[in-house]
Amino acid sequence: MEKIPILTIKQQARLNRESIIAERRYLHNNPELSFKEINTSAYIKQQLTGAGIAWKQQAGTGITAEIHGGLGSSPVIALRSDMDALPITENTGVEYQSLNAGVMHACGHDAHMAILLGAARILQSMRDDFSGTIKLIFQPAEEKLPGGAKEMINEGVLLNPVPKVVFGQHVRPDLPAGKVGICKGLSMASMDEIFVKITGKGGHAAQPNTVIDPVSIAAQLIVAMQQVVSRFADPLTPTVLSFGKLIANGAINIIPDEVLMEGTFRTFDETWRYEAHKKMKLLAEHLVSSMGGRCEFTINSGYPSLHNDEQLCDTWMQYATDYLGEENVINTGKWMASEDFAYYSHNRPSVFYYLGVGNEEKHITAPLHSSNFNIDEDALEIGVGLMVYIALQELIHHSKTLINTNSFSL
Q: Which residues are the active-site residues? A: 303, 377
Q: How far apart are the first and last CA of the chain?
A: 21
Q: What angle do CA 311, 315, 316 make, to 5 degrees?
A: 115
- Please state, in angstroms and rounded to a whole number, the distance separating the CA atoms of residues 3 and 322: 9
Reported as type and span, the H/E element at residue 358 is strand 350-358
Instruction: Decide: 130 and 395 in contact? Cβ < 8 Å.
Output: yes
CA distance 37 to 131: 33
Q: From CA 119, how far away is CA 321, in angstroms rounded?
A: 19
Q: How many Cβ atoms sit within 10 Å of the Cβ of residue 50?
A: 10
Residue 79: CB atoms within 10 A of its CB come to: 26
Cα pseudo-dihedral 80, 86, 92, 96, rounded to 10: 60
Distance CA 311, CA 257 (A): 55
Cα separation, 317 vs 313, whole angstroms: 6
